[in-house]
Amino acid sequence: MLTAEALADLVSKYNPKSNSAKIVEAYNYGQTKHEGQFRKSGEPYFTHPVSVAEILAEQRLDDATIITALLHDTIEDTGSTKQDISRLFSHEISELVDGVTKLTKIQLSSMETQEAENIRKLLMAVAQDIRVILVKLADRLHNMRTIKAMPRNKQQQKARETMDIFAPLAGRMGMQFIREDLEDLAFKILNPKGRESIIRRFINLQKDAGDVIQRISRDMHSEFGKEYIEAEVLGRAKKPYSMWRKMQEKELSFSRLSDIYGFRIICSSEVDCYRILGVIHRRWKAVPGRFKDYISQPKSNGYRSIHTTVSGRDGKQVEVQIRTRQMHDVAESGVAAHWSYRDGVRSENPFTVDPVQWITRLIDEFDSEEDHEVFLEAVKLEMYADKVFCFSPKGDVLTFPTGATPIDFAYAIHTRIGNSCVGAKVDGLRVPLWTKLRNGQSVEVITAQGQNPQPTWLDMTETGKAKTAIRRALREVDKERMVVMGKALLRTAFEHIGKKATDKSLDLAASKMRFSDSKELLARVGSTEVRPGHVVRLVYPEVTAADDFDVDQASAVIGLNEGQFLDRRPCCGPLPGERIVGIASGGSGVSIHAIDCIELARFEEKPELWIDLHWHAGKHAAVYSTGIEITISNDAGVLGRVCTIIGEMGANISDLSFVDRKPDFYKIEIAVELNGIEHLHSLLTQLEAEGEVASIKRCRGSKLENIPQE
The residues assigned a catalytic role are 76-77
Q: In what order do the strands lie in the sheet with 693-699?
A: 652-661, 665-674, 624-633, 693-699
CA distances from 56 to 93, 289, 359, 462 (A): 15, 38, 23, 36
Residue pair 90/64 in contact (Cβ under 8 Å)? The answer is yes
Instruction: Count CB atoms within 10 A of the CB of residue 619.
Output: 14
Range list of β-strands (E), 332-485: 341-342, 345-346, 387-391, 397-401, 421-426, 429-431, 443-447
Helix axes 20-33, 63-71, angle to 10 degrees: 10
Identify the three-state secondary structure at position 433. coil
Identify the three-state secondary structure at position 673. strand
Residue pair 329/350 in contact (Cβ under 8 Å)? The answer is no
Range list of β-strands (E), 258-332: 261-267, 285-286, 292-293, 306-311, 317-324
- Cα torsion 669, 674, 677, 680 to 10°: value is -50
Identify the three-state secondary structure at position 395. coil
Range list of β-strands (E), 268-303: 285-286, 292-293
Residue pair 533/493 in contact (Cβ under 8 Å)? The answer is yes
Closest CA to 323 of 337, 339, 342: 337
Residues present in the chain in total? 710
Instruction: Count CB atoms within 10 A of the CB of residue 469.
Output: 24
Phi, psi of 654 (to 5 degrees): -100, -20
Range list of β-strands (E), 160-311: 232-237, 261-267, 285-286, 292-293, 306-311
Q: Rg of the Cα trace of the chain?
A: 28
Residue type at 84? D
